[in-house]
Amino acid sequence: MSERFLDLGNGFWNIRGNLRIGGVLNVGTHCSLVRLSSGGFAFLDSYSLDDDTAAQVMAITDRGRAVRAILNLHPFHTLHCGPMHRMFPQARLFGSQRHHRKWPDLPWQPQPVEAPEVAGQFPDLRFSLPDGIDYICQNERVHAGSLLAYHPASGSLHVDDTLNVLPLPGLLRRLTGMPQVTFHPTLGKALQDRPGAARDFRDWALRIAGDWAESKAVCAAHSATLPIRPGSFADHIRKALRRVEKTLIRFEEKRR
C-alpha cells in the first residue's frame, strides 16, 4: 500500500504510512505535519517517509530546514524515531520516558512530551492525556494510553491507539452495530488499578467530547483518517463509551 499525504487544511497534513507485523500484515501507521503560527513546522510522531512523501514534505518545509520539532506522542510508537531525527536533525526531539529508553543516544529534550511545559511551547495545538489509564503500561502489549493532539485551526485530531477508526461501509456498520470511532481494545487492561479509574476515564472522554466538539477529522494511527461533520464528535465519543460501558462497569464492581 502506497503512502498518502493528506492535506486537511489550515496547515495540517496527515501522512498515512505502512507498518507490517511480522513483515506480512500491514496494520498501517501515521504521523502528521503542522504549520506553526510562530513560523516553521512540527511533526506529530515519527515515521520513515518514502521518497515521494519526503519530496512533498521537503517542498513545504524549505527542504526540511523549517521543521522545528518532532513530538513523539505514543510511548510504544518508537520504531521510526532514529530515521526521523536523521532526516530532520535540527528539529527539537520530544518523547516519553520510554522513547528515551529505547533510543538513549538521540538528543531528546529534557522534558517528557506529556509535560505541561511542552504543551505551552505549541499554542497551535491542544494536548490531552487520558485520565484513569496508564500512559506507559508495564504490560507492553497494552497500547491504549497515548497523548492526543488537537489542531483547532483545521479541526484535526491526531490520536495513536486510544481511539480507533473503523472504516466499515455504512450497510455493514448498521448490520453489526459497530460505531465508526472506538476505544482501543486493550482499554480494560490499561485502567489504573484503583477505585475511580473507570469514572475518571469516562469523565475525561466526555470532557474532550465537549472541548473538541468542532473536530472535522479523526486521524487514527492503525486504521484511517475519518472526516466527520463539525459538531458530531461528541456523538462519536458517546457511542464509543457505550461500547465499552460493560468493561468499565465490571472494572468498577471489582474495586468497590
CATH number at residue 231: 3.60.15.10
Name residue 133's beta-bridge partners: 191
Tell me how many domains the chain contains.
Answer: 1
Q: What is the pLDDT of residue 84?
A: 97
pLDDT of residue 18: 62
Does the structure show a pLDDT above 70 at 24?
no
**Quick one: pLDDT at residue 134?**
95
* pLDDT tier at 175, thresholds 50, 70, 90: very low
pLDDT at 140: 84
Confidence of residue 167 (pLDDT cuts 50, 70, 90): low
Summarize pLDDT for 196-252 with one digit per residue, the tens.
999 999 999 999 999 999 999 999 887 789 999 999 999 999 999 999 999 999 999
Is pTM beyond 0.85 here?
yes
The domain in which residue 134 lies consists of 4-254
d(CA 147, CA 218): 14
CB 225 within 8 A of CB 165: yes
- Tell me the per-residue pLDDT of 102-153, one tens digit each, with 9 for 90 and over: 999 999 999 999 999 999 999 999 999 999 999 999 898 898 999 999 999 9
pLDDT in tens, 30-42: 899 999 999 999 9
Q: Does the pLDDT at position 22 exceed 60?
A: no
Helix axes 233-254, 197-211, angle to 10 degrees: 170
Whether 91 and 51 have beta carbons less than 8 Å apart is answered as: no
Evaluate if residue 176 carries a pLDDT over 80.
Answer: no
- Do 209 and 233 contact (CB within 8 A), yes or no? yes
Which residues are registered as beta bridge partners of 74? none
Diameter of the chain by CA atoms?
57
pLDDT at 27: 52
46-88 per-position pLDDT tens digit: 999 999 999 999 999 999 999 999 999 999 989 899 999 999 9
Amino acid present at 161: D
Give yes or no for a contact between 226 and 216, defined as CB atoms under 8 angstroms apart: no
